[in-house]
């Protein structure tokens, strides 16, 4: 397993191709990242984060009924403290509290490589 400071990545994703969850097309950059890391968990600086494995995304989003509460959004991770991270239909990453209201969504950009820094900036 690869590490990024206090974050430990999972094994690479080798399962069936997943291109979208609940009508949200997953950005190619995110898919390439997940093929290499397939999520993980740990300290990323200002907060703790878990990125959900690609093969669990549909079930997680169904369990939280995201399509009902936040149409055009999907969850891809959490800080395990009531905050979630996701991707919207426009391909932007976001943060949202567990109350799942559109007004509480904070867009964090559209680049998986700067996603970590944007999360840390959000929590400063």
Euclidean distance between CA atoms 81 and 46, whole angstroms = 13
Q: Where are the domains of the chain?
A: 3-123
Q: What is 3-123's CATH superfamily?
A: SMI1/KNR4-like (3.40.1580.10)
Cα torsion 57, 84, 87, 32: sign:
negative
Q: Place 2 in a pLDDT band, splitting at 50, 70 and 90.
A: low
Residue-wise pLDDT for 79-110, tens only, equals 999 999 999 999 999 999 998 888 999 999 99
Predicted local confidence at residue 124, as pLDDT: 83
Euclidean distance between CA atoms 43 and 48, whole angstroms = 4
4 pLDDT more than 80: no
Predicted local confidence at residue 1, as pLDDT: 53
Residue-wise pLDDT for 44-55, tens only, equals 988 999 999 999
């Amino acid at each position: 397993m690869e590490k990024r400071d206090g974050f430990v990545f999972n094994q690479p994703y080798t399962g069936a191709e997943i291109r979208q969850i609940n009508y949200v097309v997953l950005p190619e950059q995110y898919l390439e990242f997940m093929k290499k890391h397939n999520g993980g968990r740990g300290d990323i600086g200002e907060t703790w984060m878990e990125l959900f494995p690609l093969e669990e995304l549909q079930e997680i989003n169904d369990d939280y009924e995201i399509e009902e509460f936040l149409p055009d959004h999907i969850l891809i991770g959490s800080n395990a403290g009531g905050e979630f991270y996701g991707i919207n239909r426009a391909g932007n990453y976001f943060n949202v509290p567990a109350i799942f209201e559109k007004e509480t969504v904070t867009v964090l950009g559209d680049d998986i490589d700067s996603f970590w820094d944007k999360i840390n900036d959000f929590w400063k």
